[in-house]
Amino acid sequence: DIQMTQSPSSLSASVGDRVTITCRASQSINDYLNWYHQKPGKAPKFLIYAASTLQTGVPSRLSGSGSGTDFTLTISNLQPEDFGTYYCQQSFSAPYTFGQGTKLEI
Amino acid sequence: QVQLVESGGGVVQPGKSLRLSCAASGFSFSAYEMHWVRQAPGKGLEWVALLSYDGNNEYYADSVRGRFTVSRDNSKSTLYLQMNSLRPEDTGLYYCARGRDAYYKYCDYWGQGTQVIVSA
């Protein structure tokens, strides 16, 4: 099975900051990498697929990059609604494993 | 609008069974793959299972393979998760999610989840 490791596990930032979350796969997954955002008590919300393609409606201050084993999610001009936990997920091969999550505190 | 509503959760003893349902509306259910994802209390997301649009292809997490079975009734726009031989570590909030794109298999819409507690 492919293991997904996110770093950091948590981070604190201020409104207006730029933050980067890293996701590493235990083997190459090409660009089969998805990102989700979850707020406490809510279902996850889908953000990005194919490592860098934003879902319709996701603000352009979010961006994803990477291929192979190393990926990043960058949020520019951080807003209060960006707090919560971010998860990466590989969809290269089943089981479609998630990273352990990165908790972002504003 | 796309809606996914899970039901069937509850408190069950270890070793017992439970069947979850996910009622879909607002889209052509029979054309989409469907996922189950769970979240233990205070923990991260764990992918559980995927079922193809026609029900012919199933995929499972190692932790549930052989105990859980995913199925669907396209005539009722409903996804199921039959959970047998339940263990305390199966406790959590179970989400169903619509699968989008045959290649990238991302979950674009999620239900609100149904709670499963496995305890003696």
Position B101 confidence tier, pLDDT thresholds 50, 70, 90: confident
Q: Which of B65, B105, B109, B112 to mutate to test the interface with A (most CBs of A within 10 A)?
A: B105
Looking at residue B103, its pLDDT comes to 87
Phi-psi region of B48 (alpha: psi -120 to 50; beta: other; left: phi over 0): alpha
Averaged over B21-41, what is the pLDDT?
A: 97
Is the Cα dihedral B25, B19, B61, B6 positive or negative?
positive
Averaged over A79-84, what is the pLDDT?
A: 95
Residue labelled with tokens 């105990």 = B67
- Cβ(B100)–Cβ(A55) under 8 Å? no
Looking at residue B56, its pLDDT comes to 96
Instruction: Name the average pLDDT for chain A.
Output: 97
Distance from CA of B75 to the nearest CA of A (A): 26
Query: Which SS3 state, helix, strand or coil, does residue B107 take?
Result: strand
Averaged over B15-39, what is the pLDDT?
A: 98
Contact B47 A99 (CB under 8 A): no
User: In whole angstroms, what is the distance from residue B112 CA to residue B120 CA?
Assistant: 26
Contact A95 B105 (CB under 8 A): no
Averaged over A27-31, what is the pLDDT?
A: 97
Contact B106 A49 (CB under 8 A): yes
Which residue of chain B comes nearest to A92, CA vs CA? B104
A4 pLDDT more than 90: yes
Looking at residue B24, its pLDDT comes to 98
